[in-house]
Amino acid sequence: MTHSPAPVLEQAADSTRVVRTRRSRGEVLARLAQRNGALATLVVLVLVMAVAFPSFSTAGNLSQIAIQSSFFAPLALGMTFVIFTGGIDLSVGSVYALGGVLAAWGSQYGPVVAVLLPLAGCGLIGLVQGTIIARTAIPAFIVTLAGLLFARGLLLILTDEGSTTYKVPADSAFLELSRGTFLGLGWPVWITVVLVAVGVLVLRRTSYGSTLLAVGGQEDAAELMGLPVRRSKVIVYTVSGLLAGLAGALTASYTASGVTTLGVGLELTAISAVVLGGTLLTGGAGTVFGSLVGIVLLQVVANLINRLGLTNSNWQAVVNGVLLVAVAVGQVQLSRIQARSRPGDD
Amino acid sequence: MSTQATAQESRTEPGRARRRPDAAWVARNGVYLALVVLVLLNIVITPYFVSASNLRLQLIQAAPVVIVALGMSLVIGTKGIDLGVGSVMALSAAIMPLYIGYGTLPAILVGVAAGLVTGFVAGTLVSRLGLQPIVATLAIFVGGRGLANVIGGQIKNLSDPGLVRLGSGSTLGVPNTVLVAAVVFAVVWFVVRRTTFGRGVEAIGGNPRAAELAGLRRARILLIVYMVAGVLAAVAGVLAAARSQASDPRTLGLLMELNAIAAVVIGGTPLTGGKVRVVGTVAGALLMQLLVSTLVAQDVPDSVAQMIQAGVIVVAVWVQLGRKRS
Amino acid sequence: MTTTSPPPPATAEQPTTPALQADGVTKRFAGVTALSGVSFSVQPGSIHALVGENGAGKSTLIKVLTGVHRPDEGRLLHHGAETSFGRAADAQAAGISTVYQEVNLVPLLSVARNVFLGREPRTRLGLVDVRRMEREARQITRDLGVDVDVTGDLGRLGLGIQQMIALARAVSIDARVVIMDEPTSSLERREVDTLFTVARRLRDQGVAIVFVSHRLDELWQLCDAVTILRDGRVVHTGEMATLSRRELISHMLGRDIDDVAAHGATGFGDAPATAGATGAGSAGGASPAPAGALVGSGVGSTTSTPALSADPVLSVTGLDARAALHDVAFDVHQGEVLGLAGLLGSGRSETVKAVYGALATDGGEVRVGGRPVRRNSVRASLSAGVALLSEDRKAEGIVPELSVRDNIVLAVMDRVSTFGVISDRKVDALVDTFVRRLGIKVSSPRQLVSQLSGGNQQKVLIARWLCTEPRVFLLDEPTRGIDVGAKREVQGLIDELAARGLGVVLISSESDELVEGSDRVVVLRDGRVSARLDGDDVTSSRLLAALVGDPASDDAAGTDPEEGAR
């Protein structure tokens, strides 16, 4: 297939029609706000907290926030790509827990197994889910819901119905994964940075990224355009599983054990982060970096709530709920402003 | 002539195979089939299954799910979803004990009112502020249980005689919780099949733009639907708490939203809305409940039970979808 | 600028291997035979028209040719070799490229990305070369006569531009066979010219082109050969130039040539109140039920054409809608059909939507029967007696999972219920009347409306609005996408509605339909009224002249509000 413009098109038109789609200033601002609203909120929040709580801006506190975020960031990243295609992955919380257990159990065979086993197992679950979603008409909601139950069931089997908690050997190199540092930042943070960078690259600079957005934006058109719709869906859910497994492994390394009760509701936290970051839940458009911002924002809010003395995680939940609503409403208003100056067709 | 072609076309209806029970028939009625199969299976393998006390037990345990699923089916009918029902259950059960001092009925009413309010919030977010249902109700899911925990604190024992009678008593031989579920079923069925509101729900889910252009009040219908879902979830919460005579905001209603959604979809109501299958929803809820109790009765470990549930959900939906796409 | 295409190259006479060929293809769907023994072939270096009413099988044939469907019988040959495509992508990979009627691009992605989706130019590292992609996209669109920001979202552009971009994409794929399915439906005149230029160049390079269009004039302008389908069979194949318009129409309709000559191309003017009439005058094949009065006496009780009363039943003044309409004003009298004409983007649909309250207006007044109607409220318009049949029945009309009867009474549910409870008796009475009266073909009113043909669906929607007993009926492309038989029935119905005293506003892109159907015509341009045609002026040529307008203002630097400073 040729890459150069088809010669047949050269100067095919007698005259040129200039189409300037006017962007009002309000619309430009709205678009900016939608894309970067979460970042702006985060920046403001951080500044406010730095002023209000002197102990906020300590290296210790900030790196704590960074590390905590980096455990969940891979999850949110995987979810972001799934949402690009207009799908959803409700299984990531359970798969995350499964990853942790697999890592803890595998750590007795060495650090390599401790990392590869969760990746393989969780990736496999993602692969199966992706295949079902790509090849049947069953909605992703249902398939990953089943995945949630299945993964948790598997988890229970591996741990004797939840009674066994595998511990990572105290001298295992696997622990270094979460505790070691490089240039002052923990490995998980670096992993997250690399993942986000790769994610942005894939989205903007690869055919696969455009395909995902096309599938989410207008799937029938994508089919007719000859894009590999099925394959892209299978891949995206597999990657989501892989990343959930990775996050689980990182957590297991940090806590030195495979806790089985983790991750309940985590998928919804991931979805919250994605929404906060500015990606459309309906698919077709979005930002990778935004999801990272969303995760960090949630962590900072958690930090804030702790400092306000409301150590009860329930207040956390309430605030997260309100925050989600506020941001979502803001985004809707912004989209409405943008839609208003779209030209009408007859 | 082309007219002949269209006449031919109009005579072949995938959903109305009059000749033989083909795959389409199975798809439409699969949930009932599965229910029958499961019941038969239990008759064989579960001792005392057919006893009156066991049947009572099954129905009592199914009642809250049925009620929540009925509310959920209306929401899904409008192309929406309600992820907050579990948290609403917890919230209503957490509020109720605080007002028990004013009497049984007032306490129940306050609990139900909690559902009304959250439904109002969700409905307003969706209908007036344009939020997607999944986002709006996600917020309720996240925030609602937190609020319930803040209000409720710890497990409260509920020994109010009125509540106990509601949760464990019977009227005319029928357990009260089952009675409530049956009434809700009858009302929802009637509304969906025979009222303009029911048509409105399906029209809005089927083609929101067309419904608006036909003069339907989309915003109002949506608001009502979410409020109903909230109220029904609250009722289910009250019943569940009354029955266990305890209110534990941490666990009450956990995963209920997923159960309810599964029940609705298995029962034949598409996730994309436009059609509400009330009887199917009840059958789906009963199926899910019966499945769980079968697994428990057979001493199947939790782990395997969950995996089986997962498989059943996928297969059930697949069958239900199967022939639609031919 | 109408030029006829040059006579087909002499090589068409010699036996050459067709670029793409369907041989004895039969395709069935759930009991309906869409194609029956169809043999169709297109030669390299020729533009081959594929004609037929909706339901004749054109779309199915195209889908078979492009791999979307597999034939049940018969075979497909590509450059003489028997092939079978598994998916659309396979056909594309084999060098068959399609421009679809609906723009099949991704609105949320940029123009540049859309053009190159799946075939993006790469840098040495294998990543997408965004700069080059944008540069080439800019070049391609310029060549097609469109200067647009290729980094902007596609969805922000008008349909016509989007279609041109779809064309660019299809053509830049370097295909040997290009299929164009109603490519001009959204295009302006100059864009159509550009498209023709591109098509001719492709042909001169030996590409085989299949051209589907309802706009019959275009066929003689562009095409070398023609195949006519009717009811899933080929009824004629031959040279384009030697076929007359009347012959073409009569093949398409299966009706006698002289018949068509005597009664015009459309169903307007067919004998109205003599229902059940056979032969020449009645709508093709299906006669509507006995001429009982239309249900809803608000329509008027007279059976003869009333004299146009002095006071208008609909009066629109100063209608303003942000960026779309400016100071639009017109009147419609009882018993009158007002045609609303204009090119794509001129604001016709926006106007009727604004009158109906479905489009937000900033100013203006709508009066029905002399009384003002609250703006921006569909419910207010409905109670005042205004009804709107939308252009897009799939997106704005049909509720697919509901039955025919539920769809029909959707707008009048309050009237057929007591305290919210629906009365089956009332519904059945209403539905039965309209099913008979409009000749809606259903096995039972409880059938799902999604199973009906396009024509019948349209009738269901018309029934829906007639239930509301309107005094004013706004019709936006009422005969689009339905077969000719149903088309004529609908046209006859419009006549009848007017005869019974309704005020009708008719939008149609087919000038025959607009001219034959309207008493007066208002022409819109860029959201403003640009011309009014009365009485004897309502002819095709006057209409065309009005649409084209003042030649001087047609150039790029004219009054096009979409243009910014260069």
State the pLDDT at residue A180: 82
d(CA A30, CA B236): 42
Question: Parallel, antiparallel, or unpaired: how do β-strands C337-342 and C503-507 relate?
Answer: parallel
Select from B4, B10, B190, B326 the residue whose CB has the most chain C CBs within 10 Å, as the one to mutate to test that interface.
B10
State the pLDDT at residue B46: 80
CB A230 within 8 A of CB A236: no
Q: Calculate how close chain C gets to B236, using CA atoms only, in Å.
A: 27
Q: Which chains have 3+ CB pairs within 8 A of C?
A: A, B
Task: Enter the DSSP assignment of A297.
Answer: H
Full residue range of the structural domain in which residue B177 is found = 57-325
- Mean pLDDT in residue range A334-344: 61
d(CA A340, CA C563): 18
Nearest CA in chain C to B16: C447
CB B314 within 8 A of CB A138: yes
Amino acid at C387: A
Q: In whole angstroms, how far apart are CA C147 and each of A13, A17, A18, B310, C438? A: 11, 6, 5, 54, 47
- Mean pLDDT in residue range C21-49: 87
Average pLDDT, chain A: 85
Contact at CB, A318 and B146, closer than 8 angstroms? yes
pLDDT per residue as tens digits for the range B272-291 = 889 999 999 999 999 999 88
Of residues A326 and A209, more confidently modeled: A209
pLDDT per residue as tens digits for the range C304-318 = 344 455 789 999 999
State the pLDDT at residue C475: 96
Amino acid at A337: I
Q: Calculate how close chain C gets to A202, using CA atoms only, in Å.
A: 9
Of residues B149 and A73, more confidently modeled: A73
d(CA C285, CA C254): 10
- Mean pLDDT in residue range C226-233: 88
Of the partner residues B130, B134, B143, the one whose CB lies closest to the CB of residue A322 = B143
pLDDT per residue as tens digits for the range C414-444 = 999 999 899 999 999 999 999 998 888 888 8
pTM of the predicted protein model:
0.80
The length of chain C is: 566
CB C265 within 8 A of CB B36: no
Nearest CA in chain C to A208: C118
- Give kind and range of the element (H or E) at residue A197: helix A187-205
- CATH number for domain A35-48+59-333, candidates 2.20.100, 1.10.3470, 1.10.730, 1.10.10: 1.10.3470
Nearest CA in chain C to B7: C441
DSSP calls for C330-378: EEEETT-EEEEEE-TTSSHHHHHHHHHT-S--SEEEEEETTEE--TT-H
Q: In whole angstroms, how far apart are CA C536 and each of C306, C332, C515, C547? A: 20, 18, 11, 17
Amino acid at C149: D
State the pLDDT at residue B8: 36
Task: Enter the DSSP assignment of C559.
Answer: S
CB C286 within 8 A of CB C485: yes
State the pLDDT at residue C301: 33
- Does residue B44 lie within any of the structural domains? no
Cβ under 8 Å to A: C residues 99-158? 100, 104-109, 113, 117-121, 127-128, 130, 136, 139-140, 142-149, 152, 155-158
Kindly report which listed range (A10-14, A195-199, A208-212) carries the lowest average pLDDT score: A10-14
Contact at CB, B317 and A317, closer than 8 angstroms? no
Select from B22, B187, B192, B213 the residue whose CB has the most chain C CBs within 10 Å, as the one to mutate to test that interface.
B213
Cβ under 8 Å to A: C residues 314-373? 322-324, 342-350
Of residues C495 and A261, more confidently modeled: C495
CB B72 within 8 A of CB B225: no
- Give kind and range of the element (H or E) at residue B27: helix B23-45
SS3 A123: helix
Contact at CB, C390 and B213, closer than 8 angstroms? yes
CB B98 within 8 A of CB B245: no
d(CA C462, CA C408): 8
- Mean pLDDT in residue range C442-458: 87
Kindly report which listed range (B172-181, B224-233, C507-516) carries the lowest average pLDDT score: C507-516
DSSP calls for B193-237: HHBHHHHHHHHHHH-HHHHHHTT--HHHHHHHHHHHHHHHHHHHH
Nearest CA in chain C to A282: C108
d(CA C389, CA C476): 6
Q: Which chains have 3+ CB pairs within 8 A of B?
A: A, C
- Mean pLDDT in residue range A184-207: 91
Q: How many CB pairs under 8 A join B and C?
A: 127
| Residue boundaries of the structural domains of chain C | 1-6+17-95+211-263
Q: What is the dihedral of CA B255, B258, B261, B264, to 10 degrees?
A: -70
Q: Give the phi and the psi of residue C107 in degrees, each rounded to 5.
A: -65, -30
pLDDT per residue as tens digits for the range A74-112 = 999 999 999 999 999 999 999 999 999 999 999 888 889
State the pLDDT at residue C159: 75
pLDDT per residue as tens digits for the range C132-150 = 999 999 988 888 878 888 8
Q: Calculate how close chain C gets to A17, using CA atoms only, in Å.
A: 5
Q: Calculate how close chain A gets to C256, using CA atoms only, in Å.
A: 36
Cβ-based contacts of C483 with chain B (< 8 Å): 2
Burial category of A229 from C-beta neighbours within 10 Å (exposed 0-12, middle 13-18, buried 19 and up): buried
Q: Calculate how close chain C gets to A235, using CA atoms only, in Å.
A: 16
Q: How many CB atoms lie within 10 A of CB C495?
A: 22
Of the partner residues C30, C406, C448, the one whose CB lies closest to the CB of residue B199 = C406
The encoded tokens of residue B5 equal 């072609």
pLDDT per residue as tens digits for the range C365-399 = 999 998 999 999 999 999 999 999 998 888 899 99
- Give kind and range of the element (H or E) at residue B186: helix B176-194
Of residues C3 and C454, more confidently modeled: C454
Sign of CA dihedral A211, A213, A216, A222: negative
Sheet holding C312-321, edge to edge: C325-333, C312-321, C363-368, C371-372
d(CA C156, CA A63): 43
Contact at CB, A17 and C324, closer than 8 angstroms? no
Task: Enter the DSSP assignment of A225.
Answer: T
Nearest CA in chain A to C66: A224
Q: Calculate how close chain C gets to A19, using CA atoms only, in Å.
A: 5
Sign of CA dihedral B71, B74, B76, B82: negative
Residue with tokens 């004529």: C488
Respond yes or no on whether ipTM tops 0.90: no
A135 has pLDDT over 80 = yes
- Mean pLDDT in residue range C164-184: 85
CB C325 within 8 A of CB C375: no
pLDDT bucket at B74, cuts 50 / 70 / 90: very high
C153 has pLDDT over 50 = yes
Nearest CA in chain A to B264: A142
Of the partner residues B13, B207, B326, the one whose CB lies closest to the CB of residue C399 = B207
Of the partner residues A136, A157, A275, the one whose CB lies closest to the CB of residue B303 = A157
SS3 B88: helix
Contact at CB, C171 and A22, closer than 8 angstroms? no
The encoded tokens of residue C522 equal 């208002």
pLDDT per residue as tens digits for the range B90-100 = 999 999 888 88
What number of H helices and E strands is found in chain C?
18, 23
d(CA C322, CA A339): 12
pLDDT per residue as tens digits for the range C328-346 = 999 999 999 999 988 766 7
Nearest CA in chain C to B274: C401
CB C505 within 8 A of CB C338: yes
The CATH class for the domain spanning C1-6+17-95+211-263 reads alpha beta
Of residues A81 and C231, more confidently modeled: A81
DSSP calls for A326-337: HHHHHHHHHHHH
Residue with tokens 């009266």: C437
pLDDT per residue as tens digits for the range B12-51 = 334 444 445 566 677 778 788 888 888 888 888 887 788 8
Task: Enter the DSSP assignment of C292.
Answer: P
Percent of chain B residues topping a pLDDT of 70: 90
Cβ-based contacts of B82 with chain A (< 8 Å): none
pLDDT per residue as tens digits for the range B201-232 = 999 999 999 999 999 999 999 999 999 999 99
CA angle (C275, C281, C282) in 5-degree steps: 50
State the pLDDT at residue C15: 64
Number of domains forming the structure of chain B: 1
d(CA A265, CA A287): 23
Of residues B237 and C263, more confidently modeled: B237
- Does residue B2 lie within any of the structural domains? no
- Does residue B22 lie within any of the structural domains? no
Strand partners, C277: none
DSSP calls for C463-496: HHHHHT--SEEEEESTTTTS-HHHHHHHHHHHHH
Sign of CA dihedral C86, C89, C95, C99: positive
